[in-house]
Amino acid sequence: MISINPSLVQYYPLGDSAIVIQFGEGVNPLINTQIRAVTAWLDEYTFEGFVEYVPAFTTITVYYEPWILDYKELLSLMKEMIADIGEIQEPDESGIIEIPVLYGAEQGPDLQYVADFHQISTAELISVHSQAVYLVYMIGFVPGFPYLGGLDERIATPRKDVPRSVVPAGSVGIAGQQTGVYPIETPGGWQIIGRTPLNLFDPDRAAPALLKAGDRVRFKAIDQTTFIEIKGAKHGH
């Protein structure tokens, strides 16, 4: 079991209609588990004046209607909530979501750059990237974009100095100590090493985002033929 130590949790206002709850520093699986326990509580026990919550790596921001309750009232409520949560069941780590990726060539235009940056072969880069199990720490930037922690330090690479104006949907990238997947076409500055044929965000699905915070992910290298087959099947061809 995991517990939250209330004395280590910090609170501070964000403008006049939000409170930030901070659980620690840095990308940390334990902090992520604590944040997900709080979001689960908020999903089940919403309160009058509650608007929404936004989880991040080390914080949850809770937005509220200040004409219904004031900051001091919300602060007291959040502290009670943290105290009531007590011990947290450790997350089930049995399920891993596999994401197929076509690495390199036009689908991964930065693969060679990242390999050269670390003085390794592209084959070794692909092997290292696809062997790890990643944790989805949060969804953000654009709908369905997963920020994945657990990238091997051997392939951690700074983001591009000049972002691309267009990054295709499904592009798999590296930025610093993180890896992630662009769910829709958008500008972006991550080093693009491959592309998945899966659709990570579809507003017509019951659950539009394929991934959610707390999911565990592994990438699987595929070839061009498999990429086309999966993409065709997705569109019903």
Q: Where are the domains of the chain?
A: 2-88, 97-234
Distance CA 83, CA 7 (A): 10
> Across the chain, which distance is largest between two alpha carbons, in Å?
59
User: pLDDT tens for residues 155-194?
Assistant: 999 999 999 999 999 999 999 989 999 999 999 999 999 9
Half-sphere exposure for 89 (CA within 13 Å, toward CB):
4
Pair 202, 144: CB distance under 8 Å: no
What average pLDDT does range 116-124 have in this prediction? 97
**Span 97-234: which CATH code?**
2.40.100.10
Answer whether 2-88 and 97-234 agree in fold.
no
Pair 111, 122: CB distance under 8 Å: yes
Rounded to two decimals, what is the model's pTM? 0.75
Architecture per CATH, domain 2-88, reads as 2-Layer Sandwich (3.30)
The pLDDT of residue 94: 56
Burial of 164 per CB tally in 10 Å (0-12, 13-18, 19+): middle
Pair 126, 172: CB distance under 8 Å: no
The pLDDT of residue 234: 59
